[in-house]
């Protein structure tokens, strides 16, 4: 049940997030600072952001819904990121940092030329705004149902809050908010898991597994609920998606911020460990919901997809007074992380890859910084508008909607800038040519193949071993199997088309103009050239340590004050746990800032 204490917690959190923009406003002196923190950040803060940007309220809403309905199948999606992250740590992180650009689209220009840069700018920016709109809609739909307020009002309020944070502080505020979100999300999730497993109707982890297996055997024994061929194709599709996504130029944004190659490689540890450990906690409450709330429609009658409330239905049941407010803050914060990163990243792309080269080639850095801030407000308004439209017209659940959008309109653009980072001998048009060919496949899959797939008597006939994997040929495909098969056909087909067209363009490389081949050779020469210590990073990271330390101590102290809410001992200990961890992290950061200031003063005196 939502209480006045929860509203207090949420109100303070919103005010705290808005303050980040004001606190970090003075650190952005130019577009390099505003869009990538001047390339001077320590690995732990950029690594935190690189992990958090991979999930949002989708983890608590869309993924929780899929776990409630289908069990641990969603783990194939979560763990599809682990092998690609190993490649990032081994090779790609260093290549990202050596690109020496402010935005990833500038690297596209250096690799594929200005035509490809404009092609990507005018297609990729709207696509990412669409994805951000889906993310905003996701958290807003749920909060509107929980608080019994109009969803459009929630979308507008949350969208304005996120836009102001990104507008005022730029990348510094984005990174600072990400670090606070990480501490809040993980501590609250851990508490939700512990409190859930302690419930008598659950009976610990063993009791939960036994009860779910007895009531929903297909949640663990996937072959009972899904045809193996479709399940394998679905998991393979996400593996291909993640390899392309996490190793593409587009994903380089966070890796352009660390102060050195060593920091860029080291930061991969956070998304890697988070990607392994996080899902183990996130699956517990939705699985418990299948036992505690077999009919979620009665719990959330205002939700069009009641299963999207699985995670928070359990939290509302097990958490003490006031703590549910922190959980909703964590959900909002996870969405804020994804949205403000998208706004900041793609405002940077628009300003430096269209406004400057096309409209104002002679624009000064102060002018570009002002334009960037203005565009942040415009992009925020566009995201809010898109979110309102998506909520009005969507017909499917969040999990399926976001995944299908990602593979249908995002993946065709991602594969060329993934392959182009590793393979040199292709002409300039290979990127946009590959993207167009992949879009053609995606269109076929989403219109022609989907129409056949929705036919009541559709069932692909596969011979031999693959036919055996398909399972019972007399049973019609379920709705979930149709959605999974559509995603797999879209993603795997896009990957095959991309590989054929991109590498096939090699035969035209020698016919490319000399200036294009020279530019491509220069780009790959940069990737082979190590960075010098603190190359292109002109600022100290001491202010970031100090400001973030103070903010964490303030927010941690506020949470500790919540121990005075009239709860039992267990409830008070929950606030002690969350507030203590956030406050202690702030104290450590502040102490490091003092040490850095002392070291910098000694070094300055030695140079006199």
- What CATH homologous superfamily does 4-216+256-396+513-548 map to? Sodium/glucose cotransporter (1.20.1730.10)
Calpha distance 483→401 (Å, rounded): 10
Calpha distance 288→202 (Å, rounded): 7
Q: Which of 100, 39, 106, 119 is nearest to 349 (CA)?
A: 106
Calpha distance 397→72 (Å, rounded): 18
Calpha distance 407→491 (Å, rounded): 6
Calpha distance 261→507 (Å, rounded): 34
Intra-chain end-to-end CA distance of the chain, in Å: 63
Residue 375 burial (CB count, 10 A): 18
Residue 465: its pLDDT value, please? 44
Calpha distance 294→420 (Å, rounded): 49
Bridge partners for 258 per DSSP: 41
CB burial readout 462-496, b (16+ within 10 A) else e: eeeeeeebbbeeeeebeebbbbbbbbbbbbbbbbe
Q: Which of 318, 334, 316 is nearest to 6 (CA)?
A: 316
Domain boundaries, the chain: 4-216+256-396+513-548
Calpha distance 313→16 (Å, rounded): 26
Calpha distance 608→605 (Å, rounded): 5
SS3 505: helix
For 160-169, what is each residue's pLDDT tens digit?
877 776 666 5
Question: Residue 546 burial (CB < 10 Å; 0-12/13-18/19+)?
Answer: middle
Calpha distance 491→238 (Å, rounded): 8
Q: 192 to each of 199, 324, 505, 552, how far by Cα in Å?
A: 11, 10, 52, 22
Question: 72: which residues sit within 8 A by CB, 6+ positions away?
Answer: 219, 220, 222, 283
Calpha distance 70→216 (Å, rounded): 9
The percent helix, strand, coil of the chain (3-state, each to 5) is 80, 0, 20
Structure token digits, residue 460: 């692909």
Helix 310-318 to helix 323-350 angle (10° resolution) is 140
Q: Which of 311, 289, 313, 291 is nearest to 301 (CA)?
A: 313
Bridge partners for 41 per DSSP: 258
Calpha distance 602→585 (Å, rounded): 26
Question: Residue 393 burial (CB < 10 Å; 0-12/13-18/19+)?
Answer: exposed
SS3 536: coil
Residue 38: its pLDDT value, please? 64
Residues of the chain with pLDDT under 70: 1, 21-39, 53, 55-57, 142, 145, 165-175, 334-342, 344, 395, 397-399, 457-475, 533-541, 608
Calpha distance 431→420 (Å, rounded): 8
Length of the chain: 608
Calpha distance 428→413 (Å, rounded): 15
Question: 261: which residues sit within 8 A by CB, 6+ positions away?
Answer: 93, 94, 97, 98, 530, 531
Calpha distance 196→558 (Å, rounded): 25
CA atoms within 13 A on the CB side of 110: 19
Calpha distance 528→504 (Å, rounded): 25
């Amino acid at each position: 049940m939502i209480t006045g204490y929860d509203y207090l917690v949420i109100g303070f959190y919103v005010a705290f997030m808005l303050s980040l923009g004001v606190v970090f406003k003075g650190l952005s002196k130019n577009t390099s600072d505003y869009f990538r923190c001047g390339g001077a950040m320590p690995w732990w803060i950029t690594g935190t952001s690189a992990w958090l940007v991979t999930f949002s309220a989708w983890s608590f809403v869309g993924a929780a819904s899929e776990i409630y309905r289908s069990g641990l199948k969603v783990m194939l999606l979560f763990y599809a990121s682990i092998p690609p992250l190993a490649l990032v740590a081994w090779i790609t992180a260093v290549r990202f940092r050596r690109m020496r650009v402010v935005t990833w689209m500038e690297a596209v220009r250096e690799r594929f030329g200005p035509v490809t840069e404009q092609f990507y700018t005018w297609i990729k920016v709207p696509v990412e705004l669409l994805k951000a709109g889906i993310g905003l809609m996701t958290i807003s739909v749920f909060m509107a149902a929980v608080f019994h307020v109009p969803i459009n009002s929630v979308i507008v309020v949350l969208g304005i809050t996120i836009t102001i944070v990104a507008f005022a502080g730029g990348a510094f505020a984005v990174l600072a908010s990400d670090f606070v979100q990480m501490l809040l999300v993980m501590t609250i999730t851990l508490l939700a898991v512990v409190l859930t497993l302690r419930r008598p109707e659950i009976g610990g982890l063993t009791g939960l597994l036994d009860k779910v297996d007895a009531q929903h055997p297909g949640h663990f024994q996937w072959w009972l609920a899904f045809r193996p061929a479709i399940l394998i194709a679905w998991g393979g599709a996400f593996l291909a998606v993640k390899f392309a996504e996490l190793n593409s130029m587009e994903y380089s944004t966070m890796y352009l911020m660390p102060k050195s190659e060593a920091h860029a490689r080291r930061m991969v540890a956070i998304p890697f460990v988070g990607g392994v450990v996080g899902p183990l906690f996130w699956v517990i409450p939705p699985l418990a919901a299948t036992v505690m709330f077999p009919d979620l429609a009665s719990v959330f009658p205002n939700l069009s997809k009641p299963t999207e409330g699985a995670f928070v239905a359990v939290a509302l049941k097990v958490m003490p007074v006031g703590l549910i407010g922190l959980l909703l803050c964590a959900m909002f914060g996870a969405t804020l992380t994804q949205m403000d990163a998208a706004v900041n990243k793609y405002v940077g792309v628009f300003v430096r890859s269209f406004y400057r080269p096309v409209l104002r080639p002679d624009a000064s850095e102060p002018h570009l910084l002002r334009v960037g801030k203005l565009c942040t407000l415009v992009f925020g308004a566009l995201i809010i508008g898109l979110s309102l439209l998506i909520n009005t017209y969507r017909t499917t659940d969040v999990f399926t909607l976001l995944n299908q959008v990602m593979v249908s309109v995002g993946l065709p653009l991602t594969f060329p800038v993934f392959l182009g980072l590793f393979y040199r001998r292709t002409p300039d048009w290979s990127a946009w040519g590959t993207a167009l060919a992949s879009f053609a496949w995606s269109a076929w899959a989403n219109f022609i193949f989907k129409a056949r797939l929705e036919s009541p008597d559709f069932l692909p006939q596969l011979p031999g071993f693959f036919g055996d994997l398909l399972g019972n040929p007399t049973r019609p495909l379920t709705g979930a199997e149709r959605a999974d098969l559509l995603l797999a056909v879209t993603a795997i087909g896009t990957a095959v088309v991309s590989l054929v067209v991109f590498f096939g363009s090699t035969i035209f490389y020698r016919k490319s103009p000399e200036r294009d081949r020279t530019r491509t050779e220069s780009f790959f020469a940069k990737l082979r050239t190590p960075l010098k210590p603190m190359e292109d990073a002109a600022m100290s990271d001491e202010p970031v340590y100090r400001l973030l330390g103070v903010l964490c101590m303030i927010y941690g102290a506020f949470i500790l004050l919540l121990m005075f809410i009239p709860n039992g001992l267990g409830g008070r200990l929950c606030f002690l746990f969350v507030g203590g961890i956030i406050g202690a992290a702030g104290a450590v950061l502040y102490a490091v800032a003092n040490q850095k200031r002392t070291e910098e003063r000694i070094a300055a005196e030695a140079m006199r």
